[in-house]
Amino acid sequence: MADTPDLSAARQAVDVAAAVVDTGCRTLADRSAVDGRISVDRLDEHQVLAYDLAHAASAVAGCRVMLGYGERGSYEAMLAAGYVADAIFDINARVATREGEWGVAPGALDAALPFVAAHRSPEFLETVAVEAEAQGTGPTHLSDDFELVRETFRRFAEDKIRPVAEHVHRENLDVPEEVIAGLAEIGGFGLSVPEEYGGFAGGDENDYIGMVVATEELSWGSLGLGGSLITRPEIITRAIVRGGTEEQKQRWLPRIAAGELMVGIMVTEPDYGSDSANVVVSATPTEGGYLVNGVKTWCTFAGRADVVMLLARTDPDRSARHRGLSVFVVDKEPAPGHSFSFTQEGGGTMVGRAIDTIGYRGMHSYEVAFDGWFVPAENLIGEDSGLGKGFYLQMEGFENGRLQTAARAVGLMQAAFEAGMQYAKDRRVFGKPVADYQLNRAKLARMAFLIQAGRQFGYHVADLMGRGEGALEASMVKAYVCRAAEWVTREAMQLHGGMGYAEEYPVSRYFVDARVLSIFEGADETLCLRVIARRLAEDALARA
């Protein structure tokens, strides 16, 4: 193994980059502040700076995590050094020629560039690739308990998900019932359900880490059939735990944990995606409950679901925006296939059609139209006390959903890396294995440290969220890692050459699946501009 990189030099380089990012945040805050507060309208006048800052700050946060990981061993230090150099190179590319926008002097990152040059060199990347061929993407350094969780879900993914994943994708089929039953048997749907309601959540940071580990392994099996299958129960569970009555918790949580109730989520609308505060689907009071009217879209798993979590407007005054929203648990019959239509005795209808997509198949995402659909009052989460709290309750789940999406990205990248590495070792071109060429080694090295950085960043955020923190970091890890997944899956496909474009290998599925990661659970641009950059500017303003 090559000499262990100097992590003190890596820290100094990260400090230089962090100072540039901090200056950029102060500049953005100064330009976006009105009467001592950040104005969204003013912030939108600097969207390019805000977007670049969001990704740069996320990269710096990932660097801090990887510096800690690098202290655990020689290969770990190599992965950390490679990631730090790669991240600062990206930040430098964002700043170059836009120093005035950032409020920094030309050459502000120059002190970090010698470290970057040394650890982006082809020679260094080749040494990383040699270790990656022997050690993969590196040790996780999980505890024995979480390694057991990893092994359990990896084995399930290998035995039950992978054998059917390609067929389901190619034929655009439903998630097999055998997969659902098997995941229920090993407790996959109860990871976030408190122990007193039949789940496995003990109420500490271990709950989040366990969820991240399980999600990664299931996504390694298949994004659509595995990792995403436990996301919807996660979102609704956290909403019910946070805002539901005791009767509601007893009614729904044990059945969710047992896999008896499959869950769909209905938040997005044709005209309102990430801007969920402006949804217009209405829930109008009527005798004994509410009548729901309007159209929801991108309702993943709505067909197979037994219940759906519905965000609807209970206050007809649109100026109330997010304060006029409430969350309902809507009962429905499961419907296989690509469409459904239900009519209640009172005449209410619920009609859904699946939206065809290039990837992420199996669960199907639906457009669903409600016309006078009756929902009992006891299905309003929190009942009367839950009126107007829907936005906050759905965000309770969505913040965790962003962390979970990052874990899905890591699992997908891991699958792509393993496929790319194996093919590159087996396939010979011009007399030697594809993996022996310098350019391909550089690609494999970058894959390895991007994957491990995403994994360790996710563990770090899970720890924060277990302590009631980490909302900003959850958005950061989602934004950064999901972009990385697009590159990793593309290059894994490229390593396969023409066979990567064929349907004989799953790597083409990894590529099209990865594309959705930067869109759902908060589109990359919206997440960066409305969540990350805004929070960075607010924090900079508060420190001023």
Phi and psi at residue 340, to the nearest 5°: -155, 160
Q: Please give the Cα distance from 475 to 480 (Å, whole number).
A: 9
Strands 307-313 and 325-331, by their bridges, are antiparallel
Q: Which of 517, 459, 477 is nearest to 59 (CA)?
A: 477
Q: Please give the Cα distance from 295 to 389 (Å, whole number).
A: 21
Q: Please give the Cα distance from 265 to 309 (Å, whole number).
A: 5
- For the record, the structure tokens of 152 come out as 């359990």
Strands 282-286 and 339-343, by their bridges, are unpaired
| 8 Å CB contact between 136 and 76 | no
Q: Which of 393, 370, 403 is nearest to 276 (CA)?
A: 393
Residues taking part in catalysis: 521
Q: Please give the Cα distance from 281 to 487 (Å, whole number).
A: 37
Would you call 41 exposed, middle or buried from its count of C-beta atoms within 10 A (0-12, 13-18, 19+)? Answer: exposed
Q: Please give the Cα distance from 220 to 513 (Å, whole number).
A: 12
Q: What is the DSSP string of 480-511?
A: HHHHHHHHHHHHHHHHTGGGGSSTTSTHHHHH
Residue type at 53 in one-letter notation = L
Q: Please give the Cα distance from 293 to 270 (Å, whole number).
A: 14
CA pseudo-torsion sign 426, 429, 433, 437: negative
Q: Please give the Cα distance from 278 to 272 (Å, whole number).
A: 7
